[in-house]
Amino acid sequence: MELFPYNTRSYQKNIMHYMDESLATGTPLVLESGTGSGKTVCAVSSTISYALKNNKKIVYTTRTNAQQKQVITEVRTIKKRLPNETKNVVTVGMQGRTHMCLLAKNNPELQKGSADELARLCAEEKKKVRRGRKKGCPYFRKGVENEEAVKHALEWMRVVLPTAEELVKYCEEHTLCPYEINKLLVQDALLVVVPYIYVFDTNLRNMLLDWMGVGEEDIILVIDEAHNLPDYLRDLLSSQLSAYMLNSCLYEIERFGDPSLLARGVTLSRFVKDLNNIIFELRQRFLLGGDNKLKYVEKKDALLPPNAVVSQIAEKYSLTTQEMEKIISAL
């Protein structure tokens, strides 16, 4: 409670008491509190206090950018009110390339790209810079060529504790990459604010921990708006395959070729067409009534039986598990 920056109300003392007890015992805490009750600042002040005393770091996950901004605002307030106690507290707000890539920000076509497509673009642009050419991303290139500019940016971040939006603006004005600058500072940060996906996607979580230079055992995890997790995780862990995607595959097959997927001579185009038919049949069976209108479906975890699509494919081609894995790898 010593880092709480405002006059405390009785219920806030209770909230922080439960939080302190959770931190001390390593017991997970689920807390429900009304809007405006100050639960964000309670969580921030309690976790920072514990982390400073116990050599831990904090990963604070939020669902929206506005919630991420609120966390950073509360840290700023704590540092302003208690500068001596928090002089070494650095906070970083992490977001994906979709929000932080300045090439995409200034190019409407790139803004349409997925996270994976932007990651591949970023890798290619960085390769061009490292090859010594005057090509590639100008924002990354300046970060490589001008150490002084990077040093000033990091010093500014330590003092200001910028939101992601403020960092993007600063870097655009100074021709630096906000995504890369963030990565440089995150290893010194006591508190890192991230979207849910940085924790619940295994690859991104491992990458984040590597940037921070810690293991999971040294992390205090705060999940804001945790009641959103079931729906969020269901979407994150669900695969999507639409008729539109399959038709796009057929278009690319016409342009680039139609290889065989199995020794028995099944071509990619035939496989995609059969897969389209399977999706149509499953839709008719499980989602449409006799009048060809969508059935009322009670909300639950899945609309189709487990492995419905995979089972249909295996039955269609009499596939073994190994053959199915080969097809997936080939795709």
Q: What superfamily in CATH does domain 1-89+190-227 come from?
A: P-loop containing nucleotide triphosphate hydrolases (3.40.50.300)
* pLDDT in the model for residue 43: 95
pLDDT digits (tens, 9 = 90+) for 83-109: 999 988 999 999 988 889 999 888 888
Q: What is the pLDDT of residue 261?
A: 78
Q: How confident is the model at residue 167 (pLDDT cuts 50, 70, 90)?
A: very high
Q: Two tokens at 152?
A: 């000033």
The string of DSSP letters for 51-77 reads HHHHT-EEEEEESSHHHHHHHHHHHHH
**Mean confidence (pLDDT) of the chain:** 88
pLDDT tens digits along 218-270: 999 999 999 999 989 988 887 778 888 899 889 999 999 998 877 667 888 99
pLDDT band at 135; cut points 50, 70, 90: confident
Mean of pLDDT values over 67-74 = 94
Reported pTM: 0.80
Cβ atoms of 179 and 100 closer than 8 Å: yes
Would you say residue 122 has pLDDT above 80? yes
Domain 91-189 is in which class?
A: mainly alpha
Rounded to 5 degrees, what angle do the CA atoms 226, 231, 236 make?
Answer: 105
From-to residues of CATH 1.10.30.20 in the chain? 91-189
Q: Decide: helix, strand or coil at residue 146.
A: coil
- The CATH 3.40.50.300 domain(s) of the chain lie at 1-89+190-227
pLDDT of residue 301: 57
Q: Which pLDDT score, from 0 to 100, does residue 33 have? A: 85
State the pLDDT at residue 244.
Answer: 87
**Better-scored residue on pLDDT, 138 or 322:** 138
Looking at residue 295, what is its pLDDT?
57
Residues 6+ apart with CB under 8 A from 306: none
